A and B are shown apart, each in its own frame.
Chain A
Amino acid sequence: MDGRIDVRNLSKSFGTFRAVDDLSFSVEPGRITGFLGPNGAGKTTTLRMVLGLIKPTSGTATIGGTPYTQLTHPISTVGAALEATNFHPGRTGRDHLRVIASAAGLPDSRADELLTLVGIPAAARKRAGGYSMGMRQRLGLAAALMGDPKVLILDEPANGLDPEGIRWLRGFLRHLASEGKTILISSHLLAEVEQTVDDVIIIANGRAVRQGTIDELRGEKRVRVLSPQSDRLARALSDAGLQVRPAEGGGLSVIADETAQIGEIAYRAGVPVHELHSERADLEQLFFQLTENTNRNLGDPAQGFAAPQEGGR
């Protein structure tokens, strides 16, 4: 089993409401894929269809070629954490994990191993009702990792985590991806996962509006340079074989990986430089453009998607 998640023409209607509309994507092993969209875009419904909890109106979702409900060892194949509230408040964290261990035929010792792994060993004997949001997220992650699965599906895993927790989660997911696991995480905040994910799938209104690597989304790396002698500098940069265009708000925008390269060209041309920095594509802005005006939960009819822009400005 290669651990690829394959979603083909997946649709789900609740009555007349089309929650997910002809969605297709695949999630590759060894990479972290962000599943992004505003609240109500259909992310959770899609993940629940992948996990066999919701029956699709049409289309298929498979994991390593098999629908979730037909996996022989589901817990050891796919780990999922869907909501931070999925615990009986009167059951301790350790007992919660032991229930899963017994259902999956795993030894009880896995429970304590996992609590240590996610950094909440002290919570073992505490009833889950008394957990903080951060502890719930970690217990959910521990449950997902019980069977050492090849595939991880996490719904809004960063919700409720403090900055330290988010940094911990980021490093933890990196480590898991380096072991070759397939990781799919959903979020309604691109900024939250921007530094974590390799690939992105952006959905709005139940449809995919953008798919690709995060680098593709960002577009080319650019360097912005401000000089009192813009024309001379532009010529020097063009002569060096670089693509230059005037930047919004003054100065020049150059396609280049390093600021040092630009600084050296300016120095050789004898042009003074007042400002020099690498430009980051404003992904949050892009995300907003892709998904704006589409929030059907606000009662605003979708008025055509903003045309997908090339990354960067």
Chain B
Amino acid sequence: MGTAIKAEVRKLLTTRLWWGMAIAVLAAGALLALLMASILNETPNPEQQAQGQPAMTPLQIATSTYTSGSAFGYVLLMVIGIMTIGSEYRHKTITGSLLAVPHRSRLIAAKVIALLAFGVLYGLIFLIGSVGAGATVLSIRGLEVFPEPGTLLRSLVLVLLVLGLWALIGLGLGVLITNQIAAILVGVGVAFIVEPLLGVLVSQVSWGESLAKYFPSRATNAVLQGYAQDGSTNQLSWWAGALVLIGYAAIMVAIGTFLTERRDVT
């Protein structure tokens, strides 16, 4: 098993994908942190309050600053997850992979562990960008850089988990839709447009709120920020959100394993 994991890590590190994605993840973290750190205020002026900007605690400002870019980060990790299997189908390297690791569930398990490790790696890169840029701006503005260290640190550590889990969701999607380009388009389209839109629509009906909070993007928010952005109380606690997200990842990996076991590799 260890050898199979090492091979998967190598596959990721021996093409240009990984550092291209590293730059994108770093940029997503840094840019959103710059934006959030610049516009958020503890007590919004009357004009901002009229626009609906709520009063925020120092913790909320810091958490928003350091984690807002993760919405882009997790989509990028989902794409990496898709590509770890999608490029194997596309370039037919799946044949060689299965010749080296004929146990198919073992091959998928190796990919799962490698992707979780890359979630940690990219999470650290993300935090270098977001904390580096965000803390600079916050301190220049005279805001608290690291309030309530315990809770804030928990959110930052959970970024590493969230990115890995989204990579696993991508892995399952990549097995489900074997055309890599189609899988990326569907994945990004759903994550950026369909799912958030559906969340808003569902929330319009009376029972919708209690359903929408289980949506992947809202569960992710719950994990990272620990409070609802719109101030509504209808949000999962951070650990419940984490369990929901783990559930999504587990289901997608299970589908991926099932299909990989059954398919003929021609």
Contact = CB atoms under 8 A, between A and B. Distances in A.
Interface residues of A, number: 35
Nearest to B265: A53
Nearest to B107: A103
B103 interface: yes
B7 interface: yes
A51 to B, nearest CB: 6
A167 interface: no
Contacts of A48: 264-266
Contacts of A119: none
Lowest 7 CB-CB distances: which A-B pairs, in order? A103-B7, A103-B100, A95-B14, A53-B265, A69-B102, A54-B264, A90-B15
B102 A99 contact: no
A95 B10 contact: yes
Nearest to B104: A69
Interface string B166-205: 0000000000000000000000000000000000000000
B102 A102 contact: no
Contact of A53 (B16, B17, B95): B95
Contacts of B3: 102-105
B96 A86 contact: yes
Secondary structure at the B interface, as helix, strand, loop or mixed, is helix
Interface string B86-115: 010001110111111111000000000000
Nearest to A67: B102
Contacts of A51: 99
Most buried by A among B7, B16, B101: B7
Most buried by B among A51, A55, A87, A99: A99
A160 interface: no
Contacts of A83: 92, 95
B91 A102 contact: no
Interface string B9-53: 011001111000000000000000000000000000000000000
Contact of A87 (B10, B93, B266): B93
B91 A53 contact: no
A86 B95 contact: yes
Contact of B100 (A45, A90, A100): A100
